[in-house]
């Protein structure tokens, strides 16, 4: 895959860590946005060095963080129900496992779980919960997992094609891959524009549409089976977007923007985030 003939889309600030400004470029062939310039592999970890990067902590310091974890617990149960609907219980790989909560819940439900997580801080928290980790994807055997999950992870990976090929290598021929990513074509993305929190540059390098996921995986021998909404995301993202736009979390306004985003998506099918269900062709 080659991403050529990209068109400038808009400028976006890194509101959470560096305060630097990046550009988003649109690739019309894939209907994909790409963060430019892409940080070097050496510099990229520095953009995650923040106490506010909530997925790498178990912090409950504020009302917002407490609400995040409350909603996360509901979402974890829904994720386990989803993988149970896709496969008999077997071997599960979660890439970008963070602090390990999803794997803890899945293991209790009967799955044989393995995680991969680049953040030493997040991984240390997960290890204390009994999560089993592989050091690298390359250490894992071919076609060894019934289900592979990436919950808001694919948008972070520097080498997109390499990761897609690794997913195909690791999943069993009859297995399932579940990919959750933000959707820049949603109502809340359009409403907040350059303040939309799910752009999260430069940690989010890639910004996907349904077309992008379909084409990228089809080129590597995998078929998009189903697209599912993540309805909580519109509220969470709208809260952060309000903070970036106005300097404070306007809970009421964010709630109504999230509500309107989900309402519009009933017609457009463009939710704030989607879960993509993929299988080998």
pLDDT score, position 58: 56
Confidence at residue 4, expressed as pLDDT on a 0 to 100 scale:
86
Q: Please give the Cα distance from 169 to 36 (Å, whole number).
A: 29
What's the rounded mean pLDDT across residues 148-170? 96
Which of 115-124, 177-186, 207-216 has the weakest average pLDDT? 115-124
Report the SS3 class of residue 91: strand
Q: How does pLDDT run across 70-113, given as a tens digit for each residue?
A: 677 788 999 999 999 999 999 999 999 999 999 999 999 999 99
When the pLDDT of each residue in the chain is averaged and rounded to a whole number, the result is 93
Phi, psi of 245 (to 5 degrees): -80, -40
| Token output for 265 | 């998506």
Pairing mode of beta strands 171-182, 112-116:
unpaired
> 3-state DSSP call for residue 103?
helix
| pLDDT score of 189 | 98
The pLDDT of residue 169 is above 80: yes
**Residues of 58-84 as b/e, b for ≥16 C-beta within 10 angstroms?**
beeeeebeeebeeebeebbeebbebbe
Whats the size of the chain, residue-wise? 281
For residue 262, give both structure tokens.
Answer: 């989900």
pLDDT tens for 224-244 read: 999 999 999 999 999 999 999
The DSSP string of 8-19 is EEEEEE-TTTT-
Q: Which pLDDT value is given to residue 73?
A: 79
pLDDT of residue 138: 94
Residue listed under structure tokens 């009967």: 110
Residues 223, 235: Cα–Cα separation, whole Å: 30
235 phi and psi angles, rounded to 5 deg: -75, -45
What is the distance between the terminal CA atoms of the chain, rounded to a whole angstrom?
Answer: 18
pLDDT at 278: 98
CATH fold of 7-280 reads Rossmann fold (3.40.50)
C-alpha distance from residue 21 to each of 14, 125, 168, 204, 273 (Å): 6, 32, 35, 13, 24
Structure tokens that stand for 168 in this block: 């195909």
Classified as helix, coil or strand, 113 is strand
- In terms of Cα–Cα distance, which of 182, 202, 191, 238 is closest to 14? 202
pLDDT for the residue numbered 281: 81
Is 130 in contact with 124 (CB distance < 8 Å)? no
Give the span between the Cα atoms of 274 and 226, in whole angstroms: 10
pLDDT band at 60 (very low <50, low <70, confident <90, very high): low
- In this predicted model, what pLDDT tens digit does every residue of 21-53 receive, in sequence order? 999 999 999 999 999 999 999 999 999 887 655
């Amino acid at each position: 895959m080659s991403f050529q003939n990209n068109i400038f889309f808009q400028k976006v600030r890194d509101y959470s860590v560096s305060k630097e400004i990046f550009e988003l470029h649109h690739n019309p062939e894939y209907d994909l946005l790409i963060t430019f310039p892409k940080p070097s592999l050496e510099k990229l970890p520095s953009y995650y060095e923040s106490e506010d990067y909530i997925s790498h902590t178990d912090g409950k310091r504020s009302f917002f963080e407490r609400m995040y974890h409350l909603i996360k617990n509901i979402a974890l149960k829904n994720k386990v129900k989803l993988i149970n609907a896709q496969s008999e219980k077997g071997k599960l790989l979660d890439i970008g496992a963070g602090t390990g909560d999803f794997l803890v819940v899945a293991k209790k439900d009967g799955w044989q779980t393995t995680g991969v997580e680049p953040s030493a801080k997040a991984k240390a928290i997960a290890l204390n919960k009994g999560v089993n980790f592989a050091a690298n994807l390359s250490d894992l055997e071919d076609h060894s997992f019934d289900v592979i999950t990436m919950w808001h992870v694919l948008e972070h990976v520097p080498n997109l094609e390499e990761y897609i090929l690794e997913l195909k290598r690791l999943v069993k021929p009859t297995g399932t891959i579940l990919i959750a990513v933000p959707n820049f074509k949603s109502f809340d993305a359009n409403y907040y524009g350059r303040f939309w929190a799910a752009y999260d540059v430069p940690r989010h390098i890639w910004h996907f549409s349904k077309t992008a996921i379909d084409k990228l995986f089809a080129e590597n021998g995998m078929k998009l089976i189903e697209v599912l909404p993540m309805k909580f995301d519109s509220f969470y993202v709208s809260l952060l977007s309000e903070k970036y736009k106005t300097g404070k979390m306007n809970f009421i306004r964010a709630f109504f923007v999230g509500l309107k985003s989900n309402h519009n998506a009933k017609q457009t099918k463009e939710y704030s985030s989607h879960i993509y269900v993929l299988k080998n062709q």
